[in-house]
Amino acid sequence: MVAISFWAFLYFLSYIRLMKSLPNIGLLVLRCTFSFMLFFNHGYSKLVHFSEISRNFPNPIGMGSAWSAGLVVFAEAIMSAFVFFGLYTRLASIPIIINVGVAALVFHSGDPISKSELAYLYLASFVAIATLGPGTYSLDSKLRRVN
């Protein structure tokens, strides 16, 4: 009877430890999923074909096509990789939030919601990532422990 109680107690402790780590697992999934999708579905092709797209890239806020393309590539390719690995996550989320915010609120302002919903999903997810932070399973967490 005592052995069963001991094993039940150990099982209960492992269950509590798992329940405490679930929010960090959720942050990992959120961070990696949206940054991976942003990088491979949007950022990578713009990075590889930058010279072609920078000539006639949309200029929704009047900075010039080359500058707009450069800032979009910076946010979608470079900063999404930082967010994926959890490196300077909150800081790296800011250019992404600005980028998808401009895409949703300025570039797609007259479009129906079915055409702009992806930009709003990216906006909401990266605002959540910036607000909640990277979680335990990130390079930010590992760097914080070293210092």
Sign for the CA dihedral angle at 129, 91, 114, 50 comes to negative
Q: How many CB atoms lie within 10 A of CB 86?
A: 25
Domain holding 62, by residue range, is 25-146
- 17 domain-assigned: no
Domain count, the chain: 1
Token pair for 94? 């800011």
Of 66, 40, 44, residue with least CA distance to 53: 66
Rg for the chain, CA atoms, rounded: 20
CA pair distance 127, 96, nearest whole angstrom: 9
What pTM value is reported for the model?
A: 0.85
Q: Is residue 63 within 8 Å of 71, Cβ to Cβ? A: yes
- 19 domain-assigned: no
Report the pLDDT value the prediction gives residue 146, as an integer from 0 to 100: 66
Report the pLDDT value the prediction gives residue 61, as an integer from 0 to 100: 80
Complete DSSP assignment for the chain: -HHHHHHHHHHHHHHHHHHHHHHHHHHHHHHHHHHHHHIIIIIHHHHHTHHHHTTS---TTSS-HHHHHHHHHIIIIIIHHHHHHTSSHHHHHHHHHHHHHHIIIIITTTS-HHHHHHHHHHHHHHHHHHHH---SSSHHHHHHHH-
Report the pLDDT value the prediction gives residue 78, as an integer from 0 to 100: 97
- 5 domain-assigned: no
The parts of the chain modelled with pLDDT lower than 70 are 1-4, 7, 10, 13, 146-147
Report the pLDDT value the prediction gives residue 3, as an integer from 0 to 100: 59
